[in-house]
Chain A
Amino acid sequence: MKTDLVRILDGNIFVLSDGSGDIEATPNVPTGYFSFDTRFLSLWRLTINGERVSTLAMDDPSYFEARFFLVPGAPTHYVDAKVSVIRERAVAGSFEERLTVLNHSGGPAEFTVRVDAGSDFSSVFMVRQERTPAGRLYQRVENGRLHLGYVREKFRLETVISTTEPAQVDEQGLTYHIRIEPHGQWTTMLHVRGLVLHPDGQDMRKHLTPPRQQRDTARLQHDLRQWLDKAPQLHCDWKPLERTYQRSLVDLAALRFSPLALPTEPLPAAGLPWNATLTGRDPILTSLQVLPFTPDMAVNTLRMLGIDQGSVLDDFRDEEPGKILREFRYGELTAFEENPTSPYFGAADSTPLYVILLDEYERWTGDAAVVREFEDEARAALHWIDEYGDIMGDGYVWYQRRNERTGLENQCWKESPTAISFRDGRLPSLPRATCELQGYAYDAKIRGARLAREFWHDPAYADRLEREAADLKERFNRDFWISDGEYYALALDGDGRQVDALSSNIGHLLWSGIVDESRAPKIAEHLLGPRLFSGWGVRTLAQGEGQYNPLGYHVGTVWPFDNAFIAWGLRRYGFHQEAGQIAEGIIDASRHFQGRLPEAFGGYDRELTRHPVQEPAANSPQALATAAPLLLIRTLLGLEPYGDDLVVTPALPERFGRIELLDIPGRWGRVDAIGSVTSQEANAADR
């Protein structure tokens, strides 16, 4: 993924272009206008009198808008600016572009403005590959509009391009022959819609109720202002924290999208460009991170994932009753079942995490009605852990795909094929039970027990869940502990062996509470030790392991969200200083990305590269990383609901000075939390 591409987005609809606004997609430069997991424009090229344009300046006033100031001709040391072009675009449900041509000369001038347009209708999965489409592409001019289309059996996609100023429209684009008065200007508006056609020729979304809200830039502006006004205000002596907080709030707003089934209840898309869709673990882990700031995201996530909760055994989709999905897609490959994303259920973590989110949501908001509303779903999820997650019948959560053609081999958050390995780099046999899955299962049972006792009036079930949790913790501390390394194994494999690589997964165990108190100091020592801690954050896999690669997606890079959960876990066990060190490292790294933390960055030693190196294929913005600064703030301030109160126990590294977080929403109404290095004492004031 080239990082210098210009990105604008509206949830799961987005435009990626080069720095002049042009789109000329190739497998190496996967630009385009994307919607419905499909590229609806792969060519969008502007020329003036046959000349390409060069960029003088570009800015993006909001996440859904970009403005390019252009001149015709190649960039040279001298730009003869007798004519210039302003290209303003927005994506708000569809793609709009306003072209303004300015004549700077003293005489009238004639220009030929040309926009070449085309689409390959590639699935977002395939944009980095050469591929012959299975269906037929067509182009048609009708009523002054250009229709680009794709048809395969009864499946039909269409891109419709219209213009406000008259143009000569042909099957490859639009041409304007214009004359502009001295120092005058000319403007046209281009509108590009990506349609998925019902057999009656209308967009299939038109037939759905309740109808989707019309989206336009005015509405998005209004929504964004409201969103920012509702969020708690942050003040910090160390400015990078304020900057990344503001950036995160805006990016979270940008990533919100409303699934077709719930048109008024937005939740975060996982990330741009590869995961602009509904997934399971990303919105759950994102909602957990942002609960103290914007709790609505959690309830929308619980509702959406509840609707699509697994109900049958299905090998193709790796589905079982009660399971929470991994990923849901809408494009051609899903339609023709070339991949299983309709939805795909190949994730062993999303189901226990669902229960954890439901409990944590209630602890913050006091919204008991939601706990009762989702009782069936939560019970089905808890049942899944024992009945379908426990593949080996030994009380652990395991995974092994049944879809061996297009399913995922690794079904924990570290999904890449080599992510789970022995110290010497060998890959373990199947099924696999990674350690953090056991932590999530333990936590889900503890939290499920609280819900059963307090809200579902089922004390017997609560007792049973607590017994099972205690038993799981005891066995886990026996079976996963690697005595010669003094840490927990990354996994157990199908032959019962400990998969002995040292990994960041042990940090999640602290968050879950499954670690024996006596062992926690060793875990903290490993996490902050030289093999795992890069200086910026905790690496996914320790330096020195066989599979370690500082740029490997899950085998050496540093993931901000992973670190936020680790810091949270460290605080849970009382390691305030260590949690602060991680928070400081990650926030410090954000300075190198203008406040926008990428999904992952390189695991190089901080001393070696001086600045964090962005992982080349990373999503950005990515919901999990976007939310990480918020969880770090919660961790630094030690925010924890206790009964109907918010407890604040700040523990800040020197550099932060003072942090004020004002108007924290929750069951207490709105409350302020203030922490400073000098006093380091609780300071919560009711409003």
Chain B
Amino acid sequence: MSEATRKFFEALERHGHERLLKKTNGTIRFDLERDHEVDHWFVEIRGGVVRVSQQNRAADTVIRSDDAFFDRMVRGEAKPHPAWLRNDITFKGQIRLVSLLERLFAPPPNARHPRIAARDRGRQG
């Protein structure tokens, strides 16, 4: 697996709760494909607390992606919902967890606070 993937899941266990709603509950298994192999990551969220393991267990939602595309989502360069519509990733189970993913991945690179954006635009005239 890629270094970025490993780092993402490690950070998720430590800091995931900071961006999740307290009431969030559920399990997600990520099946990440790479050279005809599949890495499994099992993420359990209970009351906003996140636990991560590499077990291949039944989950509320199973997300399948190739590891390169997954890394793009981790970096905020690709969004899960349109990727699911395009079949670049697939989903089985509870679709509400797609929206949850949006909270876990990084924001798109170069995203601006509206105040900064308005100020920059003002300068350009």
* Chain A residues within CB distance 8 Å of chain B: 153-156, 196-199, 204, 207-210, 260-262, 307-308, 311-316, 320, 330, 334-337, 342-343, 373, 376-377, 388, 390-393, 398, 400, 402, 430-431, 494
With A209-B60, A391-B118 known, 16 other A-B pairs at CB within 8 A are A154-B87, A197-B87, A198-B90, A207-B92, A209-B94, A312-B103, A312-B106, A315-B110, A316-B108, A336-B86, A337-B79, A377-B21, A392-B118, A398-B118, A430-B118, A430-B121
Contact of A311 among B95, B102, B112, B115 (CB under 8 A): B102
Q: Is B40 an interface residue (CB 8 A)?
A: no
- Once bound together, how far apart are the Cα atoms of A322 and B3, in whole Å? 31
Contact residues in B for A402 (Cβ distance below 8 Å): 112, 114, 117
Q: Per-residue 0/1 for B67-108: is the Cβ within 8 Å of any A Cβ (1 yes, 0 no)? A: 000000000100101101111101111111011001100111
Q: Are B118 and A431 in contact (CB under 8 A)?
A: yes
Q: B10-55: which residues lie under 8 A (CB-CB) from chain A?
A: 19, 21-23
Instruction: Give the residues in chain B near A156, CB-CB below 8 Å.
Output: 87
- CB-based contact B107/A209 at 8 Å: no
- Residues in B neighbouring A390, C-beta threshold 8 A: 115
Query: How far in angstroms is the closest Cβ of chain B from A392?
Result: 7
Residues of A near B117 (CB, < 8 A) are 315, 400, 402
CA–CA, A197 and B118, complex, Å: 41
Roughly how many angstroms separate A269 CA and B113 CA in the complex, as a whole number?
31
B96 touches A262 (CB 8 A): yes
**Do A376 and B23 touch across chains, with their CB atoms under 8 A apart?**
yes
Q: A335-B82, A392-B118 are in contact. Are A312 and B91 (CB under 8 A)?
A: no
Residues of chain B whose beta carbon lies under 8 Å from any beta carbon of chain A: 19, 21-23, 60, 76, 79, 81-82, 84-88, 90-96, 98-99, 102-103, 106-108, 110-115, 117-118, 121-122
A-B pairs under 8 A by CB, number = 110
The CA of A388 and the CA of B103, in the complex, are separated in Å by 18
Task: Tell whether A400 pairs with B91 under 8 Å between CB atoms, given A155-B86, A312-B111.
Answer: no
- Our pick among A336, A373, A376, A388 for the contact of B114 (Cβ within 8 Å) is A388
Residue contact B114 to A320, C-beta cutoff 8 Å? yes
A-chain residues with CB within 8 Å of residue B82 when the two chains form the complex: 334-337, 342
Given A154-B88, A208-B93, A307-B99, A314:B114 Cβ within 8 A:
no
CA distance A390 to B118 in the complex (A): 11
Secondary structure at chain A's binding surface: helix, strand, loop or mixed?
A: loop
Q: With A334-B85, A388-B113, A402-B112 given, is the CB distance from A312 to B94 under 8 Å?
A: no
Report Cα–Cα, A330/B106, bound state, in Å. 23
Do A313 and B113 touch across chains, with their CB atoms under 8 A apart?
Answer: yes
Q: Are B111 and A314 in contact (CB under 8 A)?
A: yes
Let me know if B79 and A342 touch, CB within 8 A.
yes
Nearest neighbor of B80 in chain A, beta-carbon distance: A342
Question: Considering the chains assembled together, what is the distance between the CA atoms of A307 and B97 in angstroms?
Answer: 9
Give 15 CB contacts A-B under 8 Å. Answer: A154-B86, A154-B87, A155-B85, A155-B86, A204-B90, A207-B90, A207-B93, A308-B99, A312-B76, A315-B108, A335-B82, A342-B81, A342-B82, A393-B115, A400-B118
The 3 nearest A-B residue pairs measured at CB: A335-B85, A154-B87, A312-B107
Q: Find chain B residues with CB under 8 A from A337 CB.
A: 79, 82
A393 vs B113: C-alpha distance in the bound complex, in angstroms? 12
A260-B95 contact given A154-B87, A312-B102, A391-B114, CB 8 Å threshold: yes
CB distance from B110 to the nearest CB of A (A): 7
Task: Determine which of B86, B88, B107 lies in contact with A313 in the assembled complex, contact meaning CB atoms within 8 Å.
Answer: B107
